[in-house]
């Protein structure tokens, strides 16, 4: 009961490079950037004027009750859409499920920031009696997970993990852990973020964390390139169906991959910067491989956290060398953030979907905009063009402000 095998059987994504799995994967393979000048509000006074926005998204398609659209923040709307897509993709018939053993763990690093901004403006301009009765339910980060459970009457374990940009990797990993332990048979797991609003952009800009390559938005996110100047903030959501293997087999499910390892650690170092040697990230990778009982030499692909920041990209390069040793130079690595931008709390799950599709299709998505590699970043980062490669083992890294590190390991399912 404490060592059950766990697989991914369904996936849904809403991203700057596609609002469905097929478009998302096609654009990743072809190196298509989703970064544009921000259209949601006037950015003329901001240093950074670019982001990865989700376009052509109609939340009304994904809610049974149309009134719920007015009662939910955008991050929860994106999460609901991804959850419905993942369920549909999985082929699960909920009428045949024991919903007491079907959990939801869909998280957000920031939550309903737009709601908070809007309602605080109303408070200041119109007074406390004009604020919405839905202010608190709309802004709290756990509400996406709660709403999804209500929509589908899923009564299993339900929670929300907030670890900044490691959030959705932790959500998937803890789902994996609970299924292995026997607390549930199936989870909807992932994350969502919708922080491209004035206060979100201003806050990250004030940290000097964001790229200001405003005249060339599609070339702004450039992990490991010596001309990188910060990350590009994005919005979106991803949800995966994480399922116990025998449960999946009994219903004849298609299986994308097997989840075999999960490691997490703390840098205990700095609020926003990693240690230069990447030691915390290396520990998370090593622990995930130990759980998976996979040697470093078996790793074929790493979807790196690599956000396009000066310190972070170098630290992760060093972490990979520490965790994999001599094999590091043989591994195919890429940062799909070069195309999607950084989805913050939604990043890990979207990148887990990329790992699962890389395993299934034998294609490594590229790192675009890698034109002049940093001398400190000297591994195989799959520069600019996708490549065909058999992927038996994939590693997915996510690291968050506060020193949170979370790594997932997936393996090709062979029976």
Say how far apart CA 11 and CA 176 lie, in whole Å: 15
From 48, 342, 377, 404, the catalytic residue: 342
Sorted by where each starts, the structural domains of the chain and their CATH numbers stand as: 7-402 (3.40.47.10)
What is residue 90's three-state secondary structure?
Answer: helix
pLDDT at 348: 98
pLDDT at 15: 98
Residue 31 contacts by C-beta under 8 Å, 6 or more apart in sequence?
A: 339, 366, 368, 384, 385, 386
Say what the pTM is.
Answer: 0.97
From 165, 257, 355, 377, the catalytic residue: 165
Burial of 25 (0-12, 13-18, 19+ CB in 10 A): buried
pLDDT at 65: 87
Say how far apart CA 254 and CA 189 lie, in whole Å: 17
From 48, 160, 247, 305, the catalytic residue: 305
48 is catalytic: no
Contact status, residue 40 vs residue 197, Cβ threshold 8 Å: yes
The number of CA neighbours under 13 Å toward the Cβ of 402 is: 13
Encode the chain (415 residues) as per-residue pLDDT tens digits: 578 999 999 999 999 999 999 999 999 999 999 999 999 999 999 999 999 999 999 999 999 888 999 999 999 999 999 999 999 999 999 999 999 999 999 999 999 999 999 999 999 999 999 999 999 999 999 999 999 999 999 999 999 999 999 999 999 999 999 999 999 999 999 999 999 999 999 999 999 999 999 999 999 999 999 999 999 999 999 999 999 999 999 999 999 999 999 999 999 999 999 999 999 999 999 999 999 999 999 999 999 999 999 999 999 999 999 999 999 999 999 999 999 999 999 999 999 999 999 999 999 999 999 999 999 999 999 999 999 999 999 999 999 999 999 999 999 999 8
327 is catalytic: no
Q: How far is CA 187 from CA 75, 83, 184, 392, in A?
A: 19, 10, 7, 24
**Ramachandran region of residue 273, left (φ > 0), alpha (ψ -120 to 50) or beta?**
beta
270 is catalytic: no
First to last CA, the chain: 19
């Amino acid at each position: 009961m404490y060592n059950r095998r766990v697989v991914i059987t369904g996936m849904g994504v809403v991203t700057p490079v596609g609002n469905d799995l097929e478009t998302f994967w096609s654009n990743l393979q072809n190196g298509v950037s989703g970064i544009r000048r921000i259209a949601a509000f006037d950015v003329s006074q901001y240093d950074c004027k670019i982001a990865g926005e989700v376009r052509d998204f109609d939340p009304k398609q994904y809610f049974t009750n149309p009134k719920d659209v007015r009662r939910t923040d955008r991050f929860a709307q994106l999460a609901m859409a991804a959850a419905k897509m993942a369920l549909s993709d999985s082929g699960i018939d909920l009428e045949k499920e024991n919903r007491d053993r079907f959990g939801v763990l869909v998280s957000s690093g920031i939550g309903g920031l737009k709601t908070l901004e809007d309602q605080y403006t109303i408070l200041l301009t119109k007074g406390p009696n004009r604020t919405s009765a839905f202010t608190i339910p709309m802004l709290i980060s756990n509400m996406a997970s709660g709403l999804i459970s209500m929509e589908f009457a899923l009564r299993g374990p339900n929670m929300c993990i907030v670890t900044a940009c490691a959030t959705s990797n932790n959500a998937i990993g803890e789902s994996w852990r609970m299924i292995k332990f026997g607390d549930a048979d199936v989870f909807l797991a992932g994350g969502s973020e919708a922080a491209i609003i004035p206060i979100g952009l201003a806050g990250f800009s004030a940290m000097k964390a964001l790229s200001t390559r405003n005249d060339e938005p599609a070339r702004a996110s450039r992990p490991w390139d010596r001309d990188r100047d910060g990350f590009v903030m994005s919005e979106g959501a991803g949800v995966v169906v994480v399922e116990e293997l025998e449960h999946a087999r009994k219903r004849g499910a298609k299986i994308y991959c097997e989840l075999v390892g999960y490691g997490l650690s703390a840098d205990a170092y700095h609020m926003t910067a990693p240690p230069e040697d990447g030691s915390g990230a290396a520990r998370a990778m090593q622990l995930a491989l130990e759980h998976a009982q996979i040697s470093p030499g078996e790793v074929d692909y790493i979807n790196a956290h690599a956000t396009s920041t000066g310190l972070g990209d170098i630290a992760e390069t060093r972490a990979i060398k520490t965790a994999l040793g001599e094999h590091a130079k043989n591994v195919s690595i890429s940062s799909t953030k070069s195309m999607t931008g950084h989805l913050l709390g939604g990043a890990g799950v979207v990148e887990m979907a990329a790992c699962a599709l890389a395993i299934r299709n034998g294609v490594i998505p590229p790192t675009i905009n890698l034109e002049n590699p940093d001398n400190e970043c000297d591994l195989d980062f799959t520069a600019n063009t996708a490549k065909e490669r058999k992927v038996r083992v994939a590693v997915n890294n996510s690291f968050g402000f506060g020193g949170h590190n979370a790594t997932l390991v997936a393996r090709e399912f062979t029976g």
